[in-house]
Amino acid sequence: MKNDTLLRACKRKEVDYTPIWLMRQAGRYIPEYRKIRKAHDIMEICKTPELSSDVSAMPINMFGLDAAIVFEDLMVPLEPTKIKFRLVDKIGPVIDNTIKSMSDVENLTEYDVEEVGFVADAIKLLKGKVDVPVIGFAGGPFTMACYMIDGVHNKKFEKTLWMLENEQGVFNRLMDKLTNIVIEYLELQVRAGADAIQLFDTWCGILDRETYCRFIMPYSKKIFKSISAVDSSVPKIHFALNSDSILKDIAQLGCDVIGVDWHNDINHAWSQIGYSRAIQGNLDPSLLVDGGKHMTDSAVGILELVRGRRGHIFNLGHGILPDTKPENVKRLVDVVHAFQINSL
């Protein structure tokens, strides 16, 4: 690996410039990816290491980003279970046999992580195609539970919240199983050579702080502790939307980097999590669609807020939107790389 700037920033070491990677940086906005999608559906790409690694490497070769994230879907680790899901364009995962009862949870097939060994193979291939760190990832147990209980991405997840309040035994048992799945899945990626891992617990921000701390936080702690036991040198990143009220609690999970969405002032967020941890974020993804001076001014504004402080990784506040123009991504990368950070 020639470029370890991202890893250095994760560990709050001195860097020559602010590293940048973007959530969903490989995907629908890239014409070359759309050509591949005409011949292969998403799960076929995920299950074919050569295709997955090629797609993952695309934005690195095109834009000069400082990390590659392996192209897989959040639902991939659930395939060895009896959960039946479909990945529907413009909707996301759709679950046909949702979790409604304890028997549904207990009927989930005993997990064998080797059934998703294609992810490890994709990481190994990807590491030979890029000279930047490779990020492995998994969905957080709560986020996956939201899909498994509600059946579809709806941002409110009323059925999940009802189960959390009224069927806590069922909910906790599901979280136990999902946590073990996530641990095995991330350990597989670390052993395959992932240089960093990110836990996307995207939807935990829909919970109030007391509920998060009581029902979700212990599982996330267990995940990060387990990854550290496998390889303590691998940086661990956590991301959640609308997390302002729980940032101080996320800072206690054992992760090295905390991603924040665009609703947060990054300087305020960093003061919440403590400057002893790195932070990732947080440009509004819609600005990348628009491009132009507003985008560049907003990016520079974020960089100005944290100038001189070690441990900032530039990213969007959520994933790249499909209507984003590739030239806007290249412009953003150039702006971030050119900014004089005056590292201490």
231 catalytic per annotation: no
CA distances from 197 to 148, 194, 327 (A): 23, 7, 28
> Considering 17, 33, 73, 290, which one is annotated as catalytic?
73
Rounded CA-CA distance 165/161 in Å is: 6
Cβ–Cβ under 8 Å, residues 261 and 286: no
Q: What is the DSSP letter of 112?
A: -
Residue of 4, 8, 12, 24 marked active site: 24
In which residue are the tokens 């590292």 written? Answer: 343
Assigned token pair, 330: 């290249």
- Taking alpha carbons only, the member of 107, 125, 261, 123 closest to residue 186 is 123
Q: Is cis: bond before 166, omega within 30 of 0?
A: no
Q: Active site includes 34? A: no
In whole angstroms, how far apart are CA 317 and each of 66, 175, 246, 339?
17, 26, 16, 19
Measured between alpha carbons, how far is 145 from 168 in angstroms, rounded to an integer?
13
The reply to whether 86 belongs to the active site is no
User: Which one is catalytic: 28, 86, 173, 277?
Assistant: 28
Note whether 237 and 259 are within 8 A (CB): yes
* Per-position DSSP letters for 253-294, written without gaps between them: SS-SEEE--TTS-HHHHHHHH-TTSEEEEEE-HHHHHH-HHH
* Alpha carbons 95 and 84: distance in angstroms, whole number: 6
Active-site hit among 17, 33, 37, 86 = 37
Q: Which of 4, 8, 12, 147 is catalytic?
A: 147
Estimate to the nearest angstrom the gap between the alpha carbon of 226 and the chain centroid.
18
8 is catalytic: no
Name the residue among 47, 44, 18, 157 with its Cα closest to residue 95.
157
Q: Sign of dihedral through CA atoms 116, 122, 124, 130?
A: negative
Query: Can 147 be counted among the known catalytic residues?
Result: yes
Active site residues: 24, 28, 37, 73, 147
